[in-house]
Amino acid sequence: MIISHRYKYLFIELPHTASTAISRELRELYDGEAILRKHSRYHDFLKIAGPAEKRYFTFSGIRNPLDIIVTGYLKYKHNAGNFYTNPKHWQRNGGFVSDIALQTYQVIQKTNMSFEEYFERVYHYPYNDWSNLAHNSFDAIIRYENLQQDFFAVLEKLGIEPARPLPVVNATTSKSKDFWQYYTPTMREHAKFVGGPFCERWGYAFPAEWAAVTVPWRARATFFLWGLVRKFRWRYLA
């Protein structure tokens, strides 16, 4: 989480949305400073903020979940950043890589698991993240798919002149094709179940050739009900 008292903004770092690049840029060039933990949530900030800080311009990121899923698989597949083989990154040693993530990496490497096998094995419910806690009340949302333009638009709203284009940080290796191409025709029904409700919530469209496959009602119902459970867990238990 990044705050600037000079420019009166707050940046909430949602994972997998280029938050590392944005937070670094804000700290280096736009008087930002880190507060709380990297991926603290907005309600954590509200607990410590003063009345004036609660009125700061607040923004965060969002990204198509089906893109996030492909990127996650490729990070496992190619051991991005050596995160899964360097013990300093492991959660048990104070890092961020959980034991479950390590197990997933090991299975993918041992079995040479394909993306389709990974998707079927790992994703059984509609995708959701903690963007549904407060993102709809933020002053701006930076879409990963329109990263540079949306970041500059935020700076303009804050009255800040951009110093340079936003650098690329933590780029996924070996992502040689558009993420939609990883979803074969036989995967589309399950992909719409997993990603459809989130995509509808945030206005992400599916390719035209997916039109024959609809988002099932049970996916929307599960997304809503699990969303309530997750909101409670993220707000009070996480």
The pLDDT tens digits of the residues spanning 161-195 come to 999 999 877 665 556 569 999 999 999 999 999 99
- Alpha-carbon distance of 67 to 75, in angstroms, equals 12
The mean per-residue pLDDT over the stretch 46-51 comes to 94
Q: What is the pLDDT of residue 68?
A: 95
- Alpha-carbon distance of 9 to 52, in angstroms, equals 11
Angle in degrees, 0-180, between the axes of helices 115-122 and 65-78, rounded to the nearest 10: 120
- Domain residue extents for the chain: 2-63+137-157
Contacts of 6 (CB under 8 A, 6+ apart): 31
- Alpha-carbon distance of 209 to 39, in angstroms, equals 36
Q: What is the pLDDT of residue 171?
A: 62
> pTM here?
0.89
Helices (H) and strands (E) in the chain, counts: 8, 5
The pLDDT tens digits of the residues spanning 124-134 come to 999 999 898 89
More confident position, 233 or 135: 135
33-34/57-62 β-pairing:
unpaired
Q: Is the pLDDT of residue 147 over 60?
A: yes
Q: What is the pLDDT of residue 236?
A: 78
Q: What is the pLDDT of residue 234?
A: 76
